[in-house]
Amino acid sequence: VMRGNFFEQFDHMQREMDHLWRVFGGRQPGWGARLYPPLNLYATGESYIVECELPGFSLDNVDITVTGDTLLIKGDRKAPNRENVSFHRRERNYGSFNRSLKLPDSVDAERTKANYTNGLLTVEMPVAEHVKPRQVKVTNG
């Protein structure tokens, strides 16, 4: 029986697997092998903010979709075309990812904004009006 948030448990399992890679001396897979880049999600009271590391990505290869309480970030980082080279070490990952994140509440997709600066994607999603707490005035009588 799984308790709590599935995504939190999945992230915990991923950190444990990364730790095993380090302990047993294998190459730590990095985000390319995990199939998603690292991100932070936090709330400001009015909005949810996602900061996602996407170094080396072209904006033409990043797609963001917000539906209800779900954020989907897709991207593809193309490997440079290098002919007649012999790699002595190759640690950078290339390819595509698809990251779906369930948010604690519904957000207003129409007012969602995204910014990409120095390899950091920041998505600001205002909480939908219908889920914000409202003060109810009590009248006498």
pLDDT in tens, 84-93: 988 888 777 7
Q: What are phi and psi of 95, to 5 degrees?
A: 130, -165
- What per-residue confidence (pLDDT) applies to 28? 45
CA distance linking residue 33 with residue 57, whole number of Å: 17
Q: What are phi and psi of 86, to 5 degrees?
A: -125, 110
Q: Is 132 exposed, middle or buried (0-12, 13-18, 19+ CB in 10 A)?
A: exposed
Q: Is 52 exposed, middle or buried (0-12, 13-18, 19+ CB in 10 A)?
A: buried
Q: What pTM was estimated for this model as a whole?
A: 0.67
- What per-residue confidence (pLDDT) applies to 55? 87
- What per-residue confidence (pLDDT) applies to 32? 44
Band of pLDDT at residue 27, cut at 50, 70 and 90: very low
- What per-residue confidence (pLDDT) applies to 49? 96
Count other C-beta atoms under 10 Å from residue 37's C-beta: 21
- What per-residue confidence (pLDDT) applies to 25? 52
57: pLDDT strictly greater than 50 = yes
135 versus 55: the higher-pLDDT residue is 55
Torsion, Cα 87 37 67 133, to 10 degrees, reads -170
Average pLDDT over residues 4-31: 65
Band of pLDDT at residue 11, cut at 50, 70 and 90: confident
| Cβ-proximal residues to 14 (8 Å cutoff; 6+ apart), any chain | 34
Q: Mean pLDDT score of the chain, rounded to an integer?
A: 81
Q: Are the C-beta atoms of residues 63 and 75 closer than 8 Å to each other?
A: yes
Biggest alpha carbon–alpha carbon distance for the chain? 86
Band of pLDDT at residue 53, cut at 50, 70 and 90: very high
Count other C-beta atoms under 10 Å from residue 127's C-beta: 21
- What per-residue confidence (pLDDT) applies to 92? 77
